[in-house]
Each structure stands twice: as C-alpha cells, then as structure tokens.
C-alpha cells in the first residue's frame, strides 16, 4: 500500500470525525449532525461550499493551482444512517437507540472530508473538483433529489466517482469492474381480489390464497425461463398477507409485495411488464381480479469502461498491483449513485474493510448488520485513493 505520510498524518482528526458521526446517526434528510460537522470543517479549512441541496446535502469546491485543463470532476460520499438497533459493542456506538451507521456512510463522509483537507492544502492539479456530500442514500432517493435540485447544472462536471466500503473483501483490496456493479432495485404490490366464503364450500368462493400461492411459485419462472442465463435478475416475494384469522373461512383478498433486481434496462422493463401479465392472467384463470403497482426505486450502477480503467490505474497505485480486482462480479443490492452515473459518466468502486485474521471483528459483519462497524484503518487508503484520483484525472497529462 502506498499512502503518503501527509495523508497518514490526517488520520487522527478524520478518525475522530468518523467516530463522532457514528455516535450521532441520522436517517434520510435528517442528517443535520453530519451536515453541520462537514460545514464546520470546510469553514475551518477555508473551502467554499454550498449547503441545503436536497435538504442536508453539501457540495464543496476546490480549484487546482492550475486551471488550464478546464476539467471538473465530482467525488461523492453518502452520509445517512439506518433504522437499526446497534449491537457492535464499539465504544463509539450510536447514542440514538434504533438508529445506526450500519452501512459505513460515516466512513465515506469522513474519507471525503480527509480528501478535502488534503486537496485544499495541496492543489497540484489542473481544473476543479466538487466534493458531494449526499443525504438519504438508503431509502430517500437522495441522489435523485440532488440531481432534481440542479446538482449537475449548478456544478457542471465531466465525470463523477463513488466508493463503498466492502466487508467481504479484506482491507487493502480495491475491487471494481468496467460495467454493471450494483443492480437496479424496484418494488411491486399486488392485490388479488377474490370472493370469500365458507372453507367447506370452495366452489362458491374465489380463493385468493390458492391464486396468490400459485403466483409466488410461477413468478420465479420469469427469472429462470425469460432472463438470459448469463444476465442476472432477482424477483423475491417479501410479504404474503391473506386470511381472516379464522380456520374455516376463505378470505376475499390476498396482498403480496415483492422486490425486483436487474442490471439491464430491457430486463428490468421485461420483469415489470411480465409480473403484471402473470398476475392478471392467473387472476383471470381463477375468476379473480388483480391490482398491480410497480415502483422504480433505484437505477442500476453501471461503470463506464474508460473511467473504470482510470480508477483501476489509481487503485493499483494506491493499493498495489496484487490488491486490485478489476473484474469483480456485481452485487444484486442497489446503490443510488447509479442515478448519478446515468447523467454523468464515471466509476464506483468497493474498498475492502474485512479483517480476515479476526473472524468476529465488527468490520467483517455484513452491511446493515447490527454488529457491523466501519473499519477506521482503511481511512488513509480511502483518502489516498480520492487524492490520487483527482491528481490523475486532473493531472497535466490526464486523459
């Protein structure tokens, strides 16, 4: 690993920021503690910024000592927490029961702050960098809201970059790929309207439970039979509600919800259409009616190949040749940074934080696990990656 000493020297201050953020978690658009800390630090370091973009969002801007390139890039960190009761056992555990930084966004925000401090003191680049502190990644469409509030019009940029800590990769490893890395995430709700009645006389009812049960099994054929086997998609039924509580009554409705993941827009559109087709066809067969609503939550995160190549180069210089995976298999979870990549090209990477020699470490627990904690020991590497990325993308010989 090649982290410069002047970045290691920032670690104490940045780790303190991270732990303060961890102790004070807030969820979508309520991240006032993080937003104020960022504003205070940027003010202390003399870095100009604008706040109030998507409520608690902040965009800071640092200009290089040379401006000849005319180029601008964006670096993005998310800053929201989750509705989880923390069980990490760390000294800096959440002070708010039921809220927790269980995805490491406290670490992402802190590493971007570290990069801000370093870059403001070492402006060895040509052009401009916008540092984007985004709210509400987990559930509130924060990226989309920043875009809707003019992120890319107010702060034009030619490229944008993101990162996420990754507990299943060991610390010191950086992984990325030149295409889809995180899936789209959508939800749907189905209501089957049948006709209730006596359990002993099914012929006089339209049983929505049998219909809904058939739907749950048949819908899996969409993934296994209608999606290209080398593409990937997931349809999961997440709630199944039917029945009156009585053991001898057929209910009149069944309500299902589901989650849909895909990478390709055409696969996503096919699933949206055919889940509804299946529901209506099965309802018709049973003499029932289906009400179907589908909600697009999050676009897939698709890296742009030339930016992935640039990030791979930066990652190798940061982590060492042997510690960079450039063709990592994508994850079916979603990340709202995908909607930023739909507007501006760029690349999103995973930074390992696992501690393979300490199996019970909170840093090995999965994202969103109540025992998870961001690994402070990767902070210098995260800052180094951001700084090198700026120096490379905005270097005098940059691509």
Which residue lies nearer to Zn ion by CB, 209 or 367? 367
Contact (Cβ atoms closer than 8 angstroms) between residue 346 and residue 353: no
Residues 6+ away with beta carbon under 8 Å from 352: 165, 166, 169, 170, 171, 172, 173, 174, 175, 378
CA distance 78 to 57: 9
Contact (Cβ atoms closer than 8 angstroms) between residue 314 and residue 385: yes
Which residue lies nearer to Zn ion by CB, 113 or 191? 113
Q: CB of residue 137 vs Zn ion: minimum separation in angstroms?
A: 6
Which residue lies nearer to Zn ion by CB, 103 or 308? 103
Which residue lies nearer to Zn ion by CB, 104 or 180? 104
Contact (Cβ atoms closer than 8 angstroms) between residue 341 and residue 303: yes
* Residues 97-126 within binding reach of Zn ion (CB under 5 A): 103
* Residues 259-318 within binding reach of Zn ion (CB under 5 A): none
The helix (H) or strand (E) run that includes residue 261 is: strand 253-262
Which residue lies nearer to Zn ion by CB, 119 or 331? 331
For 375, the token pair is 């690994």
Q: Which residue has the tokens 């190949």?
A: 305
Which residue lies nearer to Zn ion by CB, 301 or 318? 301
Tell me the residue number closest to Zn ion, measured at CB: 103
Q: CB of residue 368 vs Zn ion: minimum separation in angstroms?
A: 6
For 353, the token pair is 């934080």
- How many CA within 13 A on the CB side of residue 110? 27
Q: CB of residue 159 vs Zn ion: minimum separation in angstroms?
A: 21
Q: CB of residue 223 vs Zn ion: minimum separation in angstroms?
A: 24
Q: How many CB atoms lie within 10 A of CB 40?
A: 10
Task: Confirm or reject binding of residue 222 to Zn ion (CB under 5 A).
Answer: no
Q: CB of residue 61 vs Zn ion: minimum separation in angstroms?
A: 25
| φ, ψ (nearest 5 deg) of residue 261 | -125, 140
Three-state secondary structure readout of 281-294:
HHHHHHCCEEEEEE
| φ, ψ (nearest 5 deg) of residue 73 | -125, 165
Which residue lies nearer to Zn ion by CB, 76 or 388? 76
Q: CB of residue 377 vs Zn ion: minimum separation in angstroms?
A: 19
CA distance 263 to 314: 26
Count of residues interacting with Zn ion (CB under 5 A)? 1
For 140, the token pair is 């509130």
Which residue lies nearer to Zn ion by CB, 77 or 103? 103
Q: CB of residue 2 vs Zn ion: minimum separation in angstroms?
A: 26
Q: CB of residue 333 vs Zn ion: minimum separation in angstroms?
A: 8
| φ, ψ (nearest 5 deg) of residue 228 | -50, 125
Which residue lies nearer to Zn ion by CB, 3 or 103? 103
Contact (Cβ atoms closer than 8 angstroms) between residue 173 and residue 325: yes
Q: CB of residue 250 vs Zn ion: minimum separation in angstroms?
A: 41
Piece of 95-103, 172-180, 194-202, 342-350 that binds Zn ion (CB under 5 A): 95-103
> Dihedral of CA 161/348/338/110: which sign?
negative
Q: What is the contact surface with Zn ion in residues (CB under 5 A)?
A: 103
């Amino acid at each position: 690993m090649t982290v410069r000493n002047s970045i290691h020297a920032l670690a104490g201050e940045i780790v303190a920021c991270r732990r303060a953020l961890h102790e004070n978690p807030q969820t979508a658009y309520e991240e006032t503690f993080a937003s104020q800390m960022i504003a205070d630090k940027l003010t202390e370091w003399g870095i100009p910024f604008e706040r109030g973009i998507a409520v608690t969002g902040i965009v800071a801007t640092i200009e290089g000592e040379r401006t000849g390139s005319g180029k601008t890039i964006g670096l993005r960190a998310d800053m929201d927490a989750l509705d989880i009761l923390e069980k990490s056992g760390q000294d800096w555990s959440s002070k708010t029961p039921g809220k927790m930084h269980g995805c490491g966004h406290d670490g992402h925000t802190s590493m971007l702050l570290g990069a801000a401090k370093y870059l403001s003191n070492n402006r060895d680049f040509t052009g401009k960098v916008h540092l984007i502190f985004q709210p509400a990644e987990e559930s509130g469409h924060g990226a989309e809201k920043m875009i809707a509030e003019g992120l890319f019009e107010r702060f034009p940029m030619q490229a944008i970059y993101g990162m996420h800590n990754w507990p299943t990769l060991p610390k010191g490893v950086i992984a990325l790929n030149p295409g889809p890395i995180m899936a789209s995430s959508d939800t749907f709700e189905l209501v089957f309207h049948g006709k209730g009645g006596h359990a002993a006389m099914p012929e006089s009812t339209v049983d929505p439970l049998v219909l809904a049960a058939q739907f749950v099994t048949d819908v899996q054929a969409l993934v296994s039979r209608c999606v290209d086997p080398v593409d990937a998609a997931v349809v999961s039924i997440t709630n199944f509600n039917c029945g009156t509580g009585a053991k001898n009554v057929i209910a009149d409705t069944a309500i299902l919800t589901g989650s849909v993941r895909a990478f390709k827009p055409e696969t996503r559109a096919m699933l949206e259409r055919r889940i509804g087709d299946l529901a209506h066809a099965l309802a018709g067969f049973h003499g029932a009616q289906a009400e179907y609503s589908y909600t697009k939550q999050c676009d897939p995160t698709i890296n742009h190949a030339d930016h992935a190549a640039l990030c791979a180069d930066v990652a190798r210089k940061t982590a060492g040749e042997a510690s960079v995976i450039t063709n990592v298999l994508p994850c079916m979870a979603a990340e709202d940074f995908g909607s930023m990549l739909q507007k501006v090209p760029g690349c999103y990477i995973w930074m390992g934080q696992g501690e393979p020699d300490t199996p019970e470490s909170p840093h090995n627990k999965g994202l969103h696990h109540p025992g998870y904690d961001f690994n402070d020991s990767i902070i210098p590497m995260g800052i180094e990656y951001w700084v090198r990325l700026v120096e490379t993308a905005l270097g005098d010989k940059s691509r």
